Structure 1
Amino acid sequence: MPKATHAAATPPGTEPLNTGETREEAQLKGDSVASIVNDTVITDYDLRQRVALYLATSNAHPTAEGLKGIREQVLRQLETERIELLEAQKNNITVSAADVDKAIDNILKDNHLTLEQLTGMLARSHVQLATMRSQIASQIAWSKTVQQQYGDRIDISDEEVKDQLQRLAEGRNKPHFLVAEIFQAVDNPEDDPKVLKSMQDLEEQLRSGASFGELARQFSQNPTAASGGDMGVVVQGQLPKELDQALSNMRPGALSEPIRSSGGYYILLLRARQEGEGTDIAKQPDPPVNAHPDALPLDRILLPIGPKPPQDLRDKVIAFANELRTHIQSCNRLDEAIKGMKGAVFMSLGTMRLADLSPQIREALAQTGPGETTMPFQSSAGIELIVRCDKGPPPRQEVFKLPTKDEIEQQLFEQRMAVLSRQYLRDLRRDANIEKPGQPLGPRKSSDASE
């Protein structure tokens, strides 16, 4: 079993890695213990901070029972991160503060936030920015550890690149999918029910409005977690049969159920669908659209919070509404989808004359096209979304272009690294000792390896 070691003082410009206290140090400080990993302590404070970070950034609104499940998921993730960080420490891996800054900049761009808005949102949830930086540093450290161990051993030959280009060329007229993933490994058959339950819990959170990218960053076990689960573009037939079949039956914006495939379970998000290279999109006719209608068929979604809600509640509900907005494709069966969401109220307004609407709604609709949903706005009743139920032209779909040789080589390298990363972590988990409070310390049973 790897033993806890004291890290040297963090050099200037280097991000500290949270490899934890020893149990003796935690006992002296009076810290309560959530878990002990290879003789290093994960404190209840660590766990509370990470749960709060998840709730602040994911738009999740769990019930009391759901929160219990989230705590269990977060603790398992913290245990995995601690195993990874101890291995990084053993291999003298360091992470620069600039690397963490760059990752945070990417998160800000993806979520259209400033750093001040992010820190304010975290502060209102009593989360230290250091908690987010620690999580990001853990991901970078593990990536660098795997790279150090295996990077020089991976040789992508010209023949492999040529073969992949040939396969893509043969499928250039097939549909291509822009996909994001959440993956959790099944290291032993006995773990299958627990991993499936974990993924079903994540699916429930996603369908309740949680951010896919944030859940991927928090809980996915593939290297794509660092980029919010983004896999890039895949061609029909490129993924394993069960994943390919699911994608073929999905519409853009749709979320899959947990899918059992090689190595574990996947949840897929289809961000966009690209037609094959032979598709003549330019000849697709556009139906006539009345750019300035006098009346519109509308649906309304209300998230009641009262006229003067606390700022942190208002921010969370608006964030939830923004996430919900990205999943609304049309008014078709929208009422059924909204009924399953706690606290959301659906109203079909029918065809409304614009002159009869409030100035606030007219202003929101002025920025909205046929079939689209307004940005969230606050009324005296709460946070609202208005959906235009008129039909516009079909969305323009991008046409697939063959990637370059360099892009193919990078894709093949990342795929090989992902497999080696999972194998590496599986071996470390198998040898890890994890103790929960009240349990004796000892090697974990193989059936617990995925927790």
Structure 2
Amino acid sequence: MSGHFCNNDRNLIVHRFSLPRVFAALLAAVGATCVTAAPTWAQGHCVAAMVNDLPITAFELAQRVRFSLLVGRVADSADNRERMARQVLRQMIDERLQLDDARRNGISVDQSEITERLARLEQDNGMPPGGAQASLARAGIPLSVLTDSFRAQIAWSKVVLRKVRAGVNVSAPEVDASLRQLKSNVGKSENRVAEIFIAVDKPDQADEGLRTARRIQEQLRGGAPFPAMVQQFSSGASAANGGDLGWVLPGSLEPALDAAIARMSVNQVSEPIRTQAGWHILKLLAQRSYGRGGANTSGGGGDVRLNMIQLLLPLPPNSSPDEIERQKGLAQGIISQSKSCADLRRQCDRTKGCTSADSEGVSPAALPATIGDAARSAGIGQGLGPYHAGNAMQIVAVCSREGDNGLPSRDTVERTILMTKLEAAARRYMRDVRRNAIIDIRKDCRI
């Protein structure tokens, strides 16, 4: 648990600080709009801002504003462009600062990394090669709107690895204390929360930050997707995950945020909330009872091992859709009538052709992704499925967990503490980068 980082740390940090998952939603929204050319207001080439010695041109700003208007489902008017430009310019300034800091530290991003990131985006979202560019082109938006953001994200993840990670340590007593706290919270309600974070580095920025948060909130009320607003405007490290903070227990966040969550219902979006670091807009994604059948153990399962049962209902070769539906209905009936692994066994024994088998010490990471994800948070004895597995309908259930009593594994807790501390350290580092920067916003250059 020292300050040295290994490949696992590197993959975790690159994923958390740079993976643009939500760009698929943005592309879907943009691709639905058929525009063949950018409007005339997007043709200015004056410099809208100088960030140290890096320019942001009016043309670049206008293209990003256009992208944001489409994604945010905001009407394209002069007033809306002006309001959106302030939000977008702030984000672009941060990206330039991140690129400049990377350059000062001898960090570069190869074109091959951009190409790989774009290919992964297309592959992960079922798009053909070149699909992202084609989707943007239909709206008259250049691919650089996407790739420039990728470049800043990749560069920043490298900066965090080199300049921040080495100073972040997780000690054994910290993990022990966290595990004790987790055990004391079993049975309490926990919440899955996403956030949009607007940083406030100086007291005189608080009012402008609030105005930005309120404009974002207006767009959300108008139907803008929350992940899209996160990706474009959030300064938090969680922006790479669509703002998802994961499952949090009461007392895990700052008091003002905890108090707001306690008043929220699922899918509700909060008013802007002020903390010392800035303004937050929260969305409550889900709620559940913590530790009942297992907490969230994403990240490979650590040292958690599952004792499971599998039921198979056979399908004839070359099954017709009707035959598949009949067996699926039979499987659903077994699940609905069972509340434990013992119930599942009894139901299987009573069902013609059904076979059951037990598996012990299974790592969630060794399971197919769909089943593994479900098994990590499933209740003990809860039937999962049915899944169409070759010539059978499959039901699985977790009968018990070993090594954690339904709590996150020690490895998972350590990674969670690491990422929490790393995010805070990266936020402080970015605050210092902003404070030391020379930023000249050219008010006479309009998009």
* TM bucket normalised to smaller: 0.5 to 0.7
Residue 249 of structure 2 is matched in structure 1 by: 235
The structure-2 alpha-carbon separation of the partners of 1:275 and 1:108, relative to structure 1 and needing over 3 Å to count, comes to farther
Is the Cα–Cα contact under 8 Å of residues 277 and 399 in structure 1 kept in the other structure?
no
Is the Cα–Cα contact under 8 Å of residues 48 and 443 in structure 2 kept in the other structure?
no
1:40 and 2:54 matched = yes
The structure-2 alpha-carbon separation of the partners of 1:107 and 1:237, relative to structure 1 and needing over 3 Å to count, comes to farther
| SS of equivalent residue, structure 2 residue 90 | helix
| Aligned residue-pair number | 294
List alignment gaps of at least 5 residues for structure 2: 1-43, 295-376, 381-405
Alpha-carbon displacement from aligned partner over 1:314-368 (angstroms, at most 9, x marks no partner): xxxxxxxxxxxxxxxxxxxxxxxxxxxxxxxxxxxxxxxxxxxxxxxxxxxxxxx
Residue 3 of structure 1 is matched in structure 2 by: none
* Shift of residue 202, structure 1, vs aligned partner: 0.6
* Shift of residue 89, structure 1, vs aligned partner: 0.6
Alpha-carbon displacement from aligned partner over 1:64-110 (angstroms, at most 9, x marks no partner): 42321111111111112111111101111123556545655675588
Residue 160 of structure 2 is matched in structure 1 by: 146
Residue 86 of structure 1 is matched in structure 2 by: 100
Distance in 2, matches of 1:109 and 1:260, equals 39
The structure-2 alpha-carbon separation of the partners of 1:74 and 1:90, relative to structure 1 and needing over 3 Å to count, comes to same
Residue 402 of structure 1 is matched in structure 2 by: 407
Is the Cα–Cα contact under 8 Å of residues 37 and 434 in structure 1 kept in the other structure?
yes
Is the Cα–Cα contact under 8 Å of residues 199 and 235 in structure 2 kept in the other structure?
yes
The structure-2 alpha-carbon separation of the partners of 1:70 and 1:113, relative to structure 1 and needing over 3 Å to count, comes to farther
Distance in 1, matches of 2:127 and 2:410, equals 35
The structure-2 alpha-carbon separation of the partners of 1:199 and 1:103, relative to structure 1 and needing over 3 Å to count, comes to farther
Instruction: Letter of the 2:271 partner, please give it.
Output: E
Instruction: Letter of the 1:188 partner, please give it.
Output: K
| SS of equivalent residue, structure 2 residue 419 | helix
| SS of equivalent residue, structure 1 residue 250 | coil
Is the Cα–Cα contact under 8 Å of residues 72 and 219 in structure 2 kept in the other structure?
no
Residue 145 of structure 2 is matched in structure 1 by: 131
Distance in 2, matches of 1:83 and 1:103, equals 21
* Shift of residue 164, structure 1, vs aligned partner: 1.1
Residue 258 of structure 1 is matched in structure 2 by: 272
1:66 and 2:80 matched = yes
Residue 429 of structure 2 is matched in structure 1 by: 424
Residue 240 of structure 2 is matched in structure 1 by: 226
Residue 354 of structure 1 is matched in structure 2 by: none
* Shift of residue 38, structure 1, vs aligned partner: 1.2
Residue 183 of structure 1 is matched in structure 2 by: 197
| SS of equivalent residue, structure 1 residue 34 | strand
| SS of equivalent residue, structure 1 residue 95 | coil
Q: TM-score, normalised by structure 2?
A: 0.60
Residue 339 of structure 2 is matched in structure 1 by: none
* Shift of residue 131, structure 1, vs aligned partner: 2.0
| SS of equivalent residue, structure 2 residue 89 | helix
Instruction: Letter of the 1:93 partner, please give it.
Output: I
Instruction: Letter of the 1:253 partner, please give it.
Output: N
Residue 193 of structure 1 is matched in structure 2 by: 207
Alpha-carbon displacement from aligned partner over 1:8-53 (angstroms, at most 9, x marks no partner): xxxxxxxxxxxxxxxxxxxxxx941111111321111111121123
Residue 184 of structure 2 is matched in structure 1 by: 170
Alignment of 1:357-376 (within 5 A): none
The structure-2 alpha-carbon separation of the partners of 1:250 and 1:115, relative to structure 1 and needing over 3 Å to count, comes to farther
Alignment of 1:311-322 (within 5 A): none
Alpha-carbon displacement from aligned partner over 1:227-261 (angstroms, at most 9, x marks no partner): 21111111122112221122222222111111112
Residue 316 of structure 1 is matched in structure 2 by: none
Q: TM-score, normalised by structure 1?
A: 0.60
Instruction: Letter of the 1:47 partner, please give it.
Output: L
The correspondence for 1:158, drawn from 172, 191, 194, is: 172
The structure-2 alpha-carbon separation of the partners of 1:224 and 1:101, relative to structure 1 and needing over 3 Å to count, comes to farther
C-alpha RMSD over aligned residues: 2.7
The structure-2 alpha-carbon separation of the partners of 1:208 and 1:34, relative to structure 1 and needing over 3 Å to count, comes to same
Alignment of 1:311-350 (within 5 A): none
Residue 313 of structure 2 is matched in structure 1 by: none
1:411 and 2:416 matched = yes
Is the Cα–Cα contact under 8 Å of residues 175 and 414 in structure 2 kept in the other structure?
yes
Distance in 2, matches of 1:263 and 1:147, equals 22
| SS of equivalent residue, structure 1 residue 42 | strand
Distance in 2, matches of 1:240 and 1:109, equals 38
